Amino acid sequence: MIAKKTKLKGCYVLEPRVFEDKRGYFLESYNRNVFNEALDLKVEFVQDNESFSSKGVLRGLHYQVGEHAQSKLVRVIKGKVLDVAVDIRKNSPTFEQHVSVELTEDNKKQLFIPRGFAHGFVVLSHTAVFSYKCDNFYNKESEHGIIFSDPTLNIDWKLPKNQLIISEKDIKLPKFEDIRL
């Protein structure tokens, strides 16, 4: 596994070793020892999640606060998404900054998003299967979010706004300046 730092401290793009031949491919998507050594961390994932979405579905930007904050390791099994992580750590030199990474079934890249980040993605292909590991269990009362179109963040979601499909819950999320940290 190759771990590449992003401009946001603690956020990494991971590229697994892929073994391909005429039968297809094999990759090790996660190995705790390799992962923790590559990132010089000690992360224990406790929950795996998977979603299926159509083109234009935008999920996010979500985060959990306090003792329920989560680190995530995200990847795409099928399709293509633009994955976005936003640094919401008040004392961070990259506070309010974001990183966007295309995750696809072909490039097999993963993104590690540490605690203290908001996260979201938009589906760029016809459909996508999105998978992620969390190092803490989901807690509804601790979940918060930021509206996808926040002018402070100015995220380019790569699709016109009229092509985005956003849940009722996500369309009502507050602006960055009004979030609870």
- For the chain, which residues make up each domain, given as ranges? 46-178
Distance in angstroms (rounded) separating the CA atoms of residues 86 and 95: 8
> Which residues make Cβ contacts (< 8 Å) with residue 36, sequence separation at least 6?
42, 43
Q: Contact, 174 vs 83, CB < 8 A?
A: no
- In this prediction, residue 49 carries a pLDDT of 97
Q: Which CATH code for domain 46-178?
A: 2.60.120.10
- Report the predicted TM-score, pTM, of the whole model to 2 decimal places: 0.94
The pLDDT assigned to 140 comes to 92
List active site positions: 62, 132
pLDDT of residue 181: 73
Q: Which residue has the tokens 């985060």?
A: 63
pLDDT for the residue numbered 179? 87
The owner of tokens 């073994």 is 19
Instruction: Specify the pLDDT at position 29.
Output: 92
> Please, which residues have CB within 8 angstroms of residue 64's CB and are 6 or more apart in sequence?
70, 136, 138, 139, 142, 143, 144
User: One digit per residue, pLDDT tens: the chain, 181 residues?
Assistant: 889 999 999 999 999 999 999 999 998 999 898 998 889 889 999 999 999 999 999 999 999 999 999 999 999 999 999 999 999 999 999 999 999 999 999 999 999 999 999 999 999 999 999 999 999 999 999 999 999 999 999 999 999 999 999 999 999 999 999 987 7
